[in-house]
Structure 1
Amino acid sequence: MLIKKPEVIKSSEITDQSVYLKRRQFIRDSGLLGVGLVGSMVGLPWMKRSWAEAPAGARFGELVSSPFSSDEKLTDYQDATGYNNFYEFGTDKRDPEKHAREFAPRPWSVVVDGACEKPGSYDLEDFLRPHALEERIYRLRCVEAWSMVIPWVGFPLGAALKRFQPTSKAKYVAFETLYDPERMPGQQRRVLEWPYREGLRMDEAMHPLTILAVGMYGAELPNQNGAPLRLVVPWKYGFKSIKSIVRISFTEEQPASTWNQLQPAEYGFYSNVNPQVDHPRWSQKKERRIGDWLKQETLMFNGYGDQVASLYRGMDLKKYF
């Protein structure tokens, strides 16, 4: 397997039964809320067909549609789960599907710390228990012209963060991926500084479009897509949506983020989808949807400007890219 040095990596390449039963009981107890971009998507004819492509096991029950969901055609399930950026399992886009098959995302816990009143280490089911699940369909675009439309199952990040009572010092939220080279063989190579880190400004983190996802296509998250818990920030480039989260920290200062640290001139902290700000090595004005031959115009904020543009009012988005 070819391992590339950091300076030549493209962002497009970044691209026991008792436990299972316990999770199913949690879902029944929680009640499921599924979520449909501007306008309802309940009853769209392609929804049932697309969900049928997901595995038969580990599926969620009925889900209510989100008001934020897109009415665009879904990406094929096999494409969404077989073409991924997850360097913890390899740098080629086909590596995660191959090398994450034996990864066991249970048991799992999430550490919450920093500027909050209720820090601690939480078992995943305890971390999730207070929240209803929401199924949201978002358009996700990554740097260098490829994108997908995925029906995520999750809940607003803000609902989780409020539980831990962040203090007035909490200006940002930092996230960290599991670091375990034995379970994540890609971490045995220093292609990135491990563990993978990301961060959001507090108002970004609290926005209802920002979700913690636990599933996709009506089923649990596949390992290669960030099981068991990942971030989804649909108006930002894909590398902001950190996978397999084990730590959430409230900070007063802007936290470190992996790609911004590695190549600060190429990957800004904010990383909002902005077709007017080119990557130093390629244009970002157009994108290619996975499964399509032709490119299409990249939309500001990935098409979510009506929802999120106010977060950046008065900011120079070419400087704070």
Structure 2
Amino acid sequence: MRAAVLTAYNSPLLVDELPDPEPGPGEVLVRVMASGVNPLDIKIRRGEAPHAQLPPPAVLGIDMAGVVEAVGPRVDRFTVGDEVFGMTGGVGGLQGSLAELAAVDARLIAHKPRTLSMAQAAALPLGFITSWEGLVDRAGVGTGQQVLIHGGAGGVGFLAVQLALARGAQVYATGSTSSQAVIRAAGAVPIDYTATTVDEYVAAHTGGEGFDVVADNVGGATLDASFTAVKRYTGHVVSALGWGTHSLAPLSFRGAAYSGVFTLMPLLTGRGRDHHGEIVAEAAALADSGRLAPRLHPTTFPLDAVNDAHTAVESGSATGKVVVEPNV
């Protein structure tokens, strides 16, 4: 098979021939039709994500959608010809999806949404799983709650907005001036963080009480702002980027809660993989009900142009999720 190989950190990916993988017990062999490119993939390529544990040489690509070509022992949920998707590799020493074929743990995948293309399906897993683990598993978002999503036009935030709306919440999302239309199109009330302070938008939208749930997809100063935007006593801040040094005083003085999300843990440890499969199945159900769709960059990339795909993400020129199609 052909695959894009990371031969050294901070170097272009090399498209090369590798032996075809074979599915082991509990695995299926998937012909990869689409591989979503995440900002984390860029950090891994540059050697800036030691938590992902993927030293070169390695095949990158965390998200994928494709067709089952073979089924290993002890797999009964999938058969040859099934269209599937999931967050399946590219970290922790697991082969990623920037390849024509991948042997993946069947616990991590679900049947692809019928109403979405392969490219759309491959754009969902990491962002949706991150959003589900924060909003549903940790914060239990439900009907009538006021939810603030930071970075609502981003790859994770755009999906988080749709998930919170599907759960019955009133959703608000921060973004730059240029992203207000995208946020509004996703169904949230847009907040231009460059033109209004935290205190001002908390006062305007919650009467000064604070949001029931605040989801941080930006980190740094935005996480600090989350601690002052959350509701007293019952509020809950969730973040997938709770790294670095932060003062918990604003959160503590509000009597609110904080939860961290580490989406890679099942891939790195093997624990919780069944739940990731369950979450992407929920994504498929929401997509097929018309309540979930990613925002794609208008151009997809063949495997030979994988470095152009990475450049689009790295440069910030992408206008939606970038997807590589290894078998095109």
Asked whether the two chains share a fold, i.e. TM above 0.5, the reply is no
Using structure 1 for the length normalisation, give the TM-score. 0.23
